[in-house]
Structure 1
């Protein structure tokens, strides 16, 4: 029983090492999110050009 208590106490202290502070977070703008989505699409090879779209539709 004592070993179990010691192990639980160790687990509780280790959890604090993995906490994320708010200082490490970054709020992204919509433009930044769109850029990241395009980068992920190009990188993953999922980007396909829709030739049915006119240049006017793309500029909107």
Structure 2
């Protein structure tokens, strides 16, 4: 059985690819968190708008 050894360049490329994959996963998580925050703000805005409308109708 032949044992192939990876050169330092090949190992560096593999490490770089793994880091890029990690960065992409981190970016996706950040975008998901941002999207959730925006949805929460929109929901709060809608609730406040409904409360204002209710109070205006009550007057």
TM range (shorter): 0.3 to 0.5
User: Which structure has greater helix proportion?
Assistant: 2
Q: Kindly name which structure, 1 or 2, has the bigger radius of gyration based on alpha carbons.
A: 2
Q: Return the TM-score normalized by structure 2.
A: 0.38
User: More relative contact order in 1 or in 2 (CA 8 Å, sep 6+)?
Assistant: 1
Q: Return the TM-score normalized by structure 1.
A: 0.37
